[in-house]
Amino acid sequence: MFFLSLLLIGSALWIVIDLSYGRIVHLKHVRSRSFPLRQSDFHLYTYGKDLYDALFTDIKQAKHHVHVLFFIVKNDKISREFLKLLINKAQEGIEVRLLLDRFGSHYLSDEAIRSLRKHGVSFSFCHKVKFPFPFFSANQRNHRKITVIDGKIGYIGGFNVGEEYLGHNERLGLWRDYHLRLTGEGVQDLQKQFLHDWFDDTNQNLLGTSLYFPKLQPGTIQHQFIPTDGAYLQHTFLHLIEGAKKELFIGTPYFIPGKKIMNALLKARKRGVQITVLVPEKADHALVREAKFPYCRKLIQAGCNIYAFQQGFFHAKVIIVDDYICDIGTANFDMRSLYINHEINCLLYDKHFIQTVKNKFHEDLENASLLSFKDVSPLSLIDRGKEWIGTILAFFL
């Protein structure tokens, strides 16, 4: 018993040291990055079927290359259809590269991977476990979702590939998400980010290949892509919150903002900003629902409105500041996206498009219920225990 206790204590200490020093070393090599302001044309998708119809059609029409990065591709019907489409394009002679997060896409079978490679699809997983900090590196996930077709069409947003994103998960029901399709100048930045990630994981440097960067005409919507690698996302969120003058809308599946961002939200409320947060009623991961309760209680006490989406599962990642800026991307409003995951977000500065996003957000609010302080105050001992554990483990949820 003594040796077992010693082993458990030693393992816990090793994990803490691994995480702490792994992050310190990582931060020494990470720099704040952002792409230039660009002009592109955008379309917003909020339902999986509509997105897949457009995405699959664009891939079918590809003439030179298809570059795809997802956090999750599963081993279900729609995933197999997607992988078959990539194989078909590769057999046509189109360059196809598929980059998947190792953790998020763990359901993908070895047989499927062998088939992809056999039929000409260049495939790699992201983020191999690295020493001397294996636990920290295993927790770093490439959460970006990027597709680039012929260097002319780009996709970015919250959807992955799987049946649940079509609303076919009986427990979660309808899946609501925000995903962008763009044409115009900004596609080159998504291409650069994909090729940067591809180089990191395959050591194949294609960033200087001009064929992947055709001449692009500017669109009508000003925007900027912000990639983050487990750092500096907090700066972006703080900038958005501190810039709010009248109203701030936040939509996220996981609301675990941490102390600094929470303080910024409370300060914004004190200066008169109306804050509305939309989260799902259901949870797709253990403890994330309970981990958000302490933050929700503070915001409700401060006069903020917290809504729980009732018509299925809300997975969108969106921030709307007044009428002048909107953020849509892959980053959740939680500590994992802020401090561990690799993400990419798009800041949009067009009033008309922002109004389109705001209209969608209000549609979602109509399918949500306003939470009271009591709703986010667990009464049972089990629920209080879940909240306590969720608070401790918030960094990893």
Determine whether 315 is an active site residue. yes
Determine whether 342 is an active site residue. no
Which residue among 150, 229, 327, 334 is the active-site one? Answer: 150
**Residue that the structure tokens 């009591």 belong to:** 374
What residues form DSSP beta bridges with 214?
none
Instruction: Give the sign of the dihedral formed by CA 40, CA 41, CA 45, CA 49.
Output: negative
Determine whether 317 is an active site residue. yes
- What CA–CA distance (Å, rounded) separates 176 from 197? 27
Core vs surface per residue 261-272: b (16+ CB within 10 A) or e = beebbbebbeee
**Residue that the structure tokens 């922002």 belong to:** 354
**Residue that the structure tokens 């986010």 belong to:** 376
- What CA–CA distance (Å, rounded) separates 64 from 197? 20
- With a CB cutoff of 8 Å and minimum separation 6, the contacts of 191 are 67, 148, 151, 154, 212, 213
Which residue among 143, 152, 179, 342 is the active-site one? Answer: 143
Which residue among 74, 179, 315, 386 is the active-site one? Answer: 315
Determine whether 327 is an active site residue. no
- What CA–CA distance (Å, rounded) separates 157 from 397? 20
- With a CB cutoff of 8 Å and minimum separation 6, the contacts of 92 are none
Collapsing DSSP to helix, strand or coil, 332 comes out as coil
- With a CB cutoff of 8 Å and minimum separation 6, the contacts of 375 are 308
What percentage of the chain's residues is helix, strand, coil (to nearest 5)?
45, 25, 35
Which residue among 322, 351, 360, 375 is the active-site one? Answer: 322
Catalytic residues: 143, 145, 150, 315, 317, 322
